[in-house]
Amino acid sequence: MQARHRIIVLILLALVLPAAPAHAGGVVSVCDEAHLLTALSGGGAVTFTCGGYIGLPNTITIAANTTIDGSGQLVTISGNSAARVFVVKSGVSLTLSHLTVSWGSDTSSDGGGAVYSNGGHVTIPTA
Protein backbone atom coordinates (compact mmCIF):
# COMPACT_ATOMS: atom_id res chain seq x y z
CA MET A 1 0.00 0.00 0.00
CA GLN A 2 1.36 3.40 -0.92
CA ALA A 3 2.01 6.03 1.71
CA ARG A 4 -0.80 8.19 0.31
CA HIS A 5 -3.31 5.36 0.71
CA ARG A 6 -2.14 4.71 4.28
CA ILE A 7 -2.71 8.34 5.18
CA ILE A 8 -6.22 8.25 3.71
CA VAL A 9 -7.02 5.08 5.66
CA LEU A 10 -5.75 6.64 8.89
CA ILE A 11 -7.83 9.77 8.34
CA LEU A 12 -10.94 7.67 7.68
CA LEU A 13 -10.32 5.62 10.83
CA ALA A 14 -9.92 8.81 12.87
CA LEU A 15 -13.27 10.04 11.58
CA VAL A 16 -15.10 6.76 12.20
CA LEU A 17 -13.71 5.55 15.53
CA PRO A 18 -15.08 7.18 18.70
CA ALA A 19 -12.73 9.47 20.56
CA ALA A 20 -11.67 8.68 24.10
CA PRO A 21 -13.37 10.88 26.68
CA ALA A 22 -11.49 14.04 27.55
CA HIS A 23 -12.15 13.58 31.24
CA ALA A 24 -12.45 10.78 33.71
CA GLY A 25 -15.51 10.00 35.74
CA GLY A 26 -18.10 7.34 35.69
CA VAL A 27 -21.54 6.10 36.51
CA VAL A 28 -22.28 3.91 39.50
CA SER A 29 -24.89 1.47 38.19
CA VAL A 30 -24.75 -0.95 41.14
CA CYS A 31 -24.54 0.63 44.57
CA ASP A 32 -21.61 -1.25 46.07
CA GLU A 33 -18.00 -0.47 46.90
CA ALA A 34 -16.50 -2.06 43.77
CA HIS A 35 -18.67 -0.06 41.37
CA LEU A 36 -18.09 3.16 43.33
CA LEU A 37 -14.32 2.68 43.26
CA THR A 38 -14.39 1.99 39.52
CA ALA A 39 -16.42 5.14 38.84
CA LEU A 40 -14.08 7.20 41.06
CA SER A 41 -10.86 6.02 39.43
CA GLY A 42 -9.22 8.98 37.74
CA GLY A 43 -11.60 11.58 39.23
CA GLY A 44 -14.10 13.57 37.19
CA ALA A 45 -17.88 13.60 37.51
CA VAL A 46 -19.38 10.54 39.19
CA THR A 47 -23.15 9.99 39.02
CA PHE A 48 -25.53 7.22 40.06
CA THR A 49 -28.24 5.21 38.28
CA CYS A 50 -28.90 3.30 41.50
CA GLY A 51 -29.89 4.21 44.98
CA GLY A 52 -28.81 2.52 48.16
CA TYR A 53 -26.31 2.12 50.93
CA ILE A 54 -22.61 1.69 50.12
CA GLY A 55 -20.68 0.47 53.15
CA LEU A 56 -16.91 0.91 53.04
CA PRO A 57 -14.37 -1.22 54.89
CA ASN A 58 -11.58 1.24 54.01
CA THR A 59 -11.11 4.94 53.37
CA ILE A 60 -11.35 6.19 49.79
CA THR A 61 -8.51 8.53 48.83
CA ILE A 62 -9.46 11.26 46.37
CA ALA A 63 -6.32 11.99 44.33
CA ALA A 64 -7.85 13.84 41.35
CA ASN A 65 -10.51 16.55 41.12
CA THR A 66 -13.83 14.78 41.65
CA THR A 67 -17.53 15.55 41.87
CA ILE A 68 -19.80 12.89 43.36
CA ASP A 69 -23.42 13.68 42.54
CA GLY A 70 -26.30 11.51 43.73
CA SER A 71 -29.02 13.63 42.09
CA GLY A 72 -32.20 11.68 41.47
CA GLN A 73 -31.17 8.81 43.75
CA LEU A 74 -31.07 8.15 47.49
CA VAL A 75 -27.39 7.33 48.03
CA THR A 76 -25.58 6.86 51.33
CA ILE A 77 -21.83 6.24 51.46
CA SER A 78 -20.85 4.99 54.92
CA GLY A 79 -17.67 4.22 56.80
CA ASN A 80 -19.65 1.67 58.86
CA SER A 81 -18.17 3.21 62.05
CA ALA A 82 -14.91 1.50 61.07
CA ALA A 83 -13.25 3.76 58.48
CA ARG A 84 -13.04 7.39 57.50
CA VAL A 85 -15.06 7.78 54.30
CA PHE A 86 -12.90 10.15 52.19
CA VAL A 87 -9.41 11.65 52.36
CA VAL A 88 -8.77 14.49 49.89
CA LYS A 89 -5.13 14.90 48.86
CA SER A 90 -3.34 18.24 48.75
CA GLY A 91 -4.27 20.44 45.79
CA VAL A 92 -7.29 18.28 44.89
CA SER A 93 -10.98 19.29 44.94
CA LEU A 94 -13.89 17.09 46.01
CA THR A 95 -17.52 18.18 45.61
CA LEU A 96 -20.25 16.12 47.29
CA SER A 97 -23.78 16.79 46.09
CA HIS A 98 -27.19 15.21 46.74
CA LEU A 99 -25.96 12.26 48.81
CA THR A 100 -25.38 11.27 52.42
CA VAL A 101 -21.95 10.54 53.88
CA SER A 102 -22.33 8.80 57.23
CA TRP A 103 -20.74 6.84 60.02
CA GLY A 104 -17.14 7.72 59.23
CA SER A 105 -14.63 6.90 61.93
CA ASP A 106 -11.25 8.48 62.57
CA THR A 107 -8.87 6.47 64.70
CA SER A 108 -6.02 8.97 64.29
CA SER A 109 -5.70 12.39 65.87
CA ASP A 110 -6.37 14.12 62.51
CA GLY A 111 -10.14 14.43 62.92
CA GLY A 112 -12.58 14.28 60.05
CA GLY A 113 -14.45 11.01 60.35
CA ALA A 114 -16.51 11.56 57.20
CA VAL A 115 -14.11 13.65 55.12
CA TYR A 116 -10.54 14.67 55.88
CA SER A 117 -8.93 17.29 53.67
CA ASN A 118 -5.16 16.90 53.69
CA GLY A 119 -4.57 20.25 51.97
CA GLY A 120 -7.35 19.68 49.45
CA HIS A 121 -10.61 21.55 48.93
CA VAL A 122 -14.03 20.11 49.84
CA THR A 123 -17.31 21.63 48.65
CA ILE A 124 -20.76 20.58 49.82
CA PRO A 125 -23.29 22.78 48.00
CA THR A 126 -26.46 23.77 49.81
CA ALA A 127 -29.77 22.76 48.30
Residue 5: is its pLDDT beyond 90? no
Q: What confidence tier does 21 reach under pLDDT thresholds 50, 70, 90?
A: very low
| Residue 5 to residue 116: CA distance in whole angstroms | 56
Residue 9 is assigned to a structural domain of this protein:
no
| Residue 98 to residue 75: CA distance in whole angstroms | 8
Task: Provide the 3-class DSSP secondary structure of residue 87.
Answer: strand
For residue 68, which of 104, 31, 103, 105 has the smallest C-alpha distance?
31
Which amino acid makes up residue 20?
Answer: A
- List the domain range (segments joined by +) for residue 80: 23-123
Residue 23: is its pLDDT beyond 60? no
Helix count (H) and strand count (E) of the chain? 2, 11
Q: Do the strands 66-69 and 60-62 form a parallel or antiparallel pair, or are they unpaired?
A: unpaired
Q: Is the pLDDT higher at 32 or at 127?
A: 32
Q: Do the strands 86-88 and 115-117 form a parallel or antiparallel pair, or are they unpaired?
A: parallel
| Residue 62 to residue 96: CA distance in whole angstroms | 12
Residue 47 is assigned to a structural domain of this protein:
yes
Residue 10 is assigned to a structural domain of this protein:
no
Cα 89 to chain centroid, rounded: 14
Residue 56 is assigned to a structural domain of this protein:
yes
Burial class of 1 by CB neighbour count within 10 A (0 to 12, 13 to 18, 19+): exposed
Residue 64 is assigned to a structural domain of this protein:
yes
Q: What is the pLDDT of residues 44-94, one digit of tens each?
A: 999 999 999 999 999 999 999 999 999 999 999 999 988 899 999 999 999
**Domain total for the chain?**
1
Residue 80 is assigned to a structural domain of this protein:
yes
